[in-house]
Amino acid sequence: MRALRLMEWKSEPKLVEVAEPKPGPGQVVVRIGGAGACHSDLHLMDEFEPGSMPWNPPFTLGHENAGWVHALGDGVVGLRVGEPVAVYGPWGCGTCARCRVGIDPYCENPAGAPVPSGGGGLGLDGGMAEYELVPDARHIVPLPDGLDPVHAAPLTDAGLTPYHAVRRSWPKLPPGSTAVVIGVGGLGHVGVQILKATTAARVIAVDTRAEALRLATECGADRAVASGPTAAEEIRDATGGRGADVVLDFVGADATLALGSAVARTVGDLTIVGIGGGTLPVSFFSVPYEVSIATTYWGSRPELLEVLDLGARGLIRPKSTTFALDDALDAYRQMREGTLEGRAVIVP
């Protein structure tokens, strides 16, 4: 079968022929219907060095995957061949306290995983191929009625990651509250949808690009603010001088972190989702009182079930463009150039 594989760090992936996977005991092979292309894949191609991770190339890209059960290994129950499913992307050890409650991204014993990695497409073979081997059936989530694999694939990360970030701040988002979304790209525009679907907050979207702000408005943002020297003042004015109860930074650069700190309300949340490499100096007087600053990574398996339910009901739907496997490199080129709106989904 064909697969798009990263052969070494700091290189372009290559479309090559590999053997079709066969499931061992407890494993599942999924016939891929859609595999999301994520901006973090560009970090793998452009920035990672040998030794920076406990795993290394070569591996097949694609950590946002959905499709149909193709083959079941011995001992797998509760799934049937042909059933539409999503793949929960982060794969931890399965036995530590975090993994036991389905929070594999925060696995406390990654070296204890059967094959240490970040998951399929992150050290192990992912979904940018005709088939993906999932090493543990617990990572397979049946799709609810009304949700096909092409639309489900980006929900496994581009939906789950902002959902986790929003969900942890639900108590701070009652009627009368304000949430600010900085960066309305592949994750941020879904974050706007999640805020509108699950909270009563007024949503202010911030971006440097006019087309991104238009997308934010289409997704339900109550106000769109162009990033720049007057953005903080505009947000403060829009909130009666109080600031935002929750700020979600989907960029994570120096400028966006500074903006988030400048517009956060006392006792608010500033959640850093983007991995833009910025830093935020924190001292007693540098941020408003009791502002909680946190980073988040991906989300839990139970949260994925909730995300897929919202997707099946049409409450969240990432804006996406589909590409054939032969055209996957073009999808990544558009991501690098900033010309891709929303998400790219590779359809083998």
Of 156, 166, 155, 160, nearest to 248 by C-alpha is: 166
In angstroms, the CA 75 to CA 73 distance is: 6
Q: Are residues 113 and 199 in the same domain?
A: no
Task: Please give the pLDDT value at position 52.
Answer: 83
Count the neighbouring beta carbons within 10 Å of the beta carbon of residue 49.
8
Q: Are residues 42 and 151 in the same domain?
A: yes
Q: Which domain holds residue 133?
A: 2-157+299-347
The CATH number linked to 66 is 3.90.180.10
Kindly give the confidence (pLDDT) of every residue in the chain, 348 residues in length, as a single tens digit, with 9 standing for 90 and above.
999 999 999 999 999 999 999 999 999 999 999 999 998 999 999 988 888 888 899 999 999 999 999 999 999 999 999 999 999 999 999 999 999 999 999 999 988 887 778 899 999 999 999 999 999 999 999 999 999 999 999 999 999 999 999 999 999 999 999 999 999 999 999 999 999 999 999 999 999 999 999 999 999 999 999 999 999 999 999 999 999 999 999 999 999 999 999 999 999 999 999 999 999 999 999 999 999 999 999 999 999 999 999 999 999 999 999 999 999 999 999 999 988 888 999 999
> What are the percentages of helix, strand and coil residues in the chain, rounded to 5?
30, 25, 45
Tokens, residue 136: 């543990």
Q: Are residues 321 and 259 in the same domain?
A: no
Q: Are residues 32 and 87 in the same domain?
A: yes
Q: Given CA atoms 85, 87, 93, 94 in this order, what sign does their dihedral have?
A: negative
Tokens, residue 111: 């070296």
The CATH number linked to 190 is 3.40.50.720
Q: Are residues 329 and 268 in the same domain?
A: no
CB 129 within 8 A of CB 15: no
Tokens, residue 227: 């990033």
Q: Are residues 17 and 151 in the same domain?
A: yes
Task: Please give the pLDDT value at position 285.
Answer: 92
Please give the tally of structural domains in the chain: 2
Q: Are residues 22 and 153 in the same domain?
A: yes
Final residue belonging to a domain, choices 280, 295, 310: 295
Q: Are residues 26 and 149 in the same domain?
A: yes
Tell me the pLDDT tens digit for each residue of 135-159: 999 999 999 999 999 999 999 999 9
Final residue belonging to a domain, choices 252, 276, 295: 295
Q: Are residues 148 and 9 in the same domain?
A: yes
Q: Are residues 65 and 14 in the same domain?
A: yes
Tell me the pLDDT tens digit for each residue of 45-88: 998 888 888 889 999 999 999 999 999 999 999 999 999 999 99
Q: Are residues 151 and 29 in the same domain?
A: yes
Task: Please give the pLDDT value at position 71.
Answer: 98
Q: Are residues 15 and 147 in the same domain?
A: yes
